[in-house]
């Protein structure tokens, strides 16, 4: 398998930006209203991160046709479309980020259900540690 530096570099950028989605999940688990802004920013930054780098785009375009290039290009377009549509839908829920009463509404709370299920599924057997129970050794 040959190394493909431009694709590797773009995938590294993608994973760095997409980590904001996981941060959003934890913000939603905590019930923070800013989680809606973080979700929107992630949806906007992912396509920007995939397409912004002109030099990487040129290097990918100049490569000879290969299955890897085809799969990567298809994935990049699919990820872009998915995130643009997700951002458009999320824009309608942006008021949830700016009002505590709106955040408590049923439509805003619906967005919190999947992160709370994630928490329940992955941390059900893990005992929760509170700040009061931590002992700091000097």
Instruction: Break the chain into its structural domains and give their ranges.
Output: 5-124
The predicted-structure confidence for 48-57, as pLDDT tens digits, reads as follows 999 888 888 7
- The single residue listed with the structure tokens 């290009």 is 73
Specify the higher pLDDT residue, 131 or 12. 12
**pTM (2 d.p.):** 0.78
What integer pLDDT is reported at residue 70 of this predicted model?
86
Q: Name the band, by pLDDT with cuts 50, 70 and 90, for residue 91.
A: very high
Specify the higher pLDDT residue, 130 or 83. 83
Residue 118 has pLDDT above 50, yes or no: yes
- The single residue listed with the structure tokens 């955040």 is 103
- The single residue listed with the structure tokens 């990487």 is 56
Q: Which residues contact 120 (CB under 8 A, 6 or more apart)?
A: none
The predicted-structure confidence for 31-43, as pLDDT tens digits, reads as follows 899 999 999 999 9
Q: Name the band, by pLDDT with cuts 50, 70 and 90, for residue 16.
A: very high
Q: What is the C-alpha to C-alpha distance for residues 110 and 85, in angstroms, rounded to an integer?
A: 18
> 24, 19, 26, 69: which is closest to 46 by C-alpha?
19
């Amino acid at each position: 398998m040959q190394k493909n530096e431009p694709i590797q570099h773009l995938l590294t950028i993608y994973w760095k930006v997409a980590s904001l989605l996981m941060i959003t999940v934890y913000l939603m688990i905590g019930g923070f209203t800013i989680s809606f802004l973080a979700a929107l920013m992630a949806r906007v930054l992912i396509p920007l991160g995939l397409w912004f780098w002109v030099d990487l785009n040129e290097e990918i375009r100049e490569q000879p046709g290969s299955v890897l290039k085809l799969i990567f290009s298809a994935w990049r377009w699919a990820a872009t479309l998915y995130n643009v549509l997700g951002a458009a839908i999320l824009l309608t829920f942006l008021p949830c980020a700016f009002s505590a009463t709106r955040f408590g509404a049923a439509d805003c709370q619906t967005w919190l259900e999947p992160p709370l299920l994630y928490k329940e599924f992955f941390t059900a057997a893990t005992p929760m540690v509170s700040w009061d129970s931590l002992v700091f050794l000097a």
